[in-house]
Amino acid sequence: MSDPQSDELDLVTRACAGDQSACATIVQRYTGVLYNQAYRMLGDAFEAEDAVQEVFLRVFRNLKSYDPSRRLVTWLLTIGSNYCIDRLRRRRFSWLTLEDVAFWLPSTQPGPERSALQSAQREAVQRALQRLPESYRGVTVLRYWHDLSYDEIGAILGLTEATVKTRLHRARKMLQEALAAEEELWNAEGMAS
């Protein structure tokens, strides 16, 4: 059985050499991871799809700069994270259109959760996650959804391990509070209906 690291390196080398099937394998293997990160960070399924496409374009444009000592997934998440943060920053400075306002209103479009899992609970977690400041949301998603170590999160976000721990500590508290608020809302709606 081949070592996953050498398998990744082989894929990257072949993709760098222009092997289309290696590129397709990378895309198929990591679309889910990048989509999940973008969806959790941006809070919108359509934006997440667009983000995945843009991130892969950046990935293949910079594939030669990939450091083989790192896991491929952490390198991809680094690019994904930078892209999402850029996009969130740009969002603050963009003019509001009716479409933008509609985006902030409760969505009537079926998101991945609603369509795949039909779970209102998970939508509540997603809403709670969106209440976290971006910098805290990033560490939370990488820690709990991607199960990365503090060290790997630090490498992805360009932070020290201590800063990662600090942000996670605050993020946990905020997430608890946000989920408690969601629970209250949940109970109130349950009582009303």
Partner 1 sequence: MERRGDGELSDADLAEVEAETRALLARWGEPQMASPPADLSARVVRRLNDPPARLGWRWQQLWLALPLCLLILGIWGLGFDSSGPAALFGDPATGAGRYVLALTLIAKPLWHLWLAGAGWWVAGLFTLIVSGWIWWRLIVDAPLAEVL
**Residue 126 Cβ, how far from partner 1 at the closest point, in Å?**
8
CB of 74 vs partner 1, minimal distance in Å: 16
178: nearest Cα among 125, 136, 137 = 125
Residues 133-147, buried b or exposed e (16+ Cβ, 10 A)? eebbbbbbbbbeebe
Instruction: Answer yes or no whether residue 39 interacts with partner 1 by CB under 8 A.
Output: yes
Between residues 36 and 78, which has the closer beta carbon with respect to partner 1?
A: 36
Instruction: Please report whether residue 28 would count as binding partner 1 according to CB under 8 A.
Output: yes
Coil, strand, or helix at residue 105?
coil
Concatenating the DSSP letter of every residue in 109-163 gives S--HIIIII--HHHHHHHHHHHHS-HHHHHHHIIIIIS---HHHHHHHHT--HHH
Q: Which of 1-9, 18-26, 64-72, 151-159 is the region at the interface with partner 1 (rule: CB under 8 A)?
A: 18-26
Question: Alpha-carbon distance 12 to 19, whole Å?
Answer: 9
Instruction: In whole angstroms, give the CA distance from residue 161 to residue 177.
Output: 24
In the list 13, 14, 16, 31, the residue contacting partner 1 (rule: CB under 8 A) is: 31
Query: Of the listed pieces 70-78, 95-103, 151-159, 166-174, which binds partner 1 according to CB under 8 A?
Result: 166-174
Query: Which of residues 16, 47, 63, 112 is near partner 1 by CB under 8 A?
Result: 112
52 scored as a contact of partner 1 (CB under 8 A) = yes
Residue 75 binds partner 1 (CB under 8 A): no
Name which position in 5, 53, 118, 149 contacts partner 1 (CB under 8 A).
53
